[in-house]
Structure 1
């Protein structure tokens, strides 16, 4: 994955909704499509389009918000089912960071494994960011090294699990994270083999 250290003046969209679950992020009927076809066009489909296909005016479809890299929502974003396709839809659309007061646990883990930052802010800060974006602000900078969001008069601090932060900063998946400890793992294995010789299989077997 591509390392994520800073999104500089990224186009940002407000999503002033709580409990946006994975079924809303990508409705199940679109998951029949092959991933290589791209899931970005299905992102929040039923919140963006009516039954007749007409746009409902969600900020993601505002031409001024084209190429959005940051989405700011309310609490419990990504709850519901464990479908990883919800993250695919966000990433394929171009979103690199979702800001919210809380996230569904499985969604947040899937997000990090696909290079998407789930940035946790207080409810008050989420409301301040949403109000500013609805009031005309259209860009935010997200600094993962400093864990802060810039664009308002005062920076907004966010939190993220330290292990997830390390993975995102380095562009690592779980295997890469394990390999980063290869020397320590090797040293332990060698010491354990010496300490517990009886546990090693006999070469005569």
Structure 2
């Protein structure tokens, strides 16, 4: 998993509350078994109309937001089912950071396992980001995980809080398997001793 330390990314808004995992990645696209290839289906039913044409009224389809790496949204982002395909789709589309006032617990945990930084801010702070994104075309945020800060070129600075264990996961680019493999020598030694005892 790629480590996350700092990101200077274009910001894209999805100005909706209770964005659920079925909206993030609709169920008809869950047949793949790889983690890649889901980005094209992100927010599919909002990005495209019934004829499969691009919906120009959906925020993320506007040219000014193409190539964004920071997603901002409203409360309870990632609610609904526990499908891990939701962070897979977000990551595959190109987002490395999602900012919202609150997240569904399972989605929040799955983000860390897939190299995405979810940041919880107050409703007022998120509204400020929405306002700045609308006001400044090409609006970018500098996300500094080492310092736990968000800054922009217009004088904004927001400190955010994050569990230190999860922060280290991202800083070191570790998922659960990578964390376990840090103890590979001890695991191998234990397995060798166990095998020896089996033959005694």
TM-score normalised by structure 2 residue count? 0.86
| CA distance in structure 1 between the aligned counterparts of 2:115 and 2:97, rounded to whole angstroms | 9
Q: Match for residue 128 of structure 2?
A: 128
What SS class does the counterpart of residue 30 from structure 2 fall into? helix
In structure 2, the gaps of 5 or more residues are none
After superposition, the C-alpha distances for 1:99-144 in whole angstroms (9 at most, x for unaligned) are: 0111111111111111011111111101110111122252111101
Q: How far did residue 175 of structure 1 move?
A: 2.6
Q: Match for residue 196 of structure 1?
A: none
Aligned pairs, number: 191
**What is the Cα-based RMSD across aligned positions, in Å?**
2.3
Correspondence 1:1-205 to 2 at 5 A: 1-8=1-8, 10-35=9-34, 38-54=37-53, 55-137=55-137, 138-151=139-152, 152-180=154-182, 204=200
| CA distance in structure 1 between the aligned counterparts of 2:22 and 2:61, rounded to whole angstroms | 20
| CA distance in structure 2 between the aligned counterparts of 1:177 and 1:70, rounded to whole angstroms | 26
Q: How far did residue 33 of structure 1 move?
A: 3.9
Say if 1:169 and 1:36 are closer, same or farther in 2 by CA, change over 3 A. closer
* Segments ≥4 residues shifted beyond 3 Å: 33-37, 178-183, 201-204
Is contact 2:150-2:156 (8 Å) kept?
Answer: no
| CA distance in structure 2 between the aligned counterparts of 1:84 and 1:29, rounded to whole angstroms | 15
TM-score normalised by structure 1 residue count? 0.84
| Range 163-172 or range 24-33, more displaced | 24-33
Q: How far did residue 49 of structure 1 move?
A: 1.9
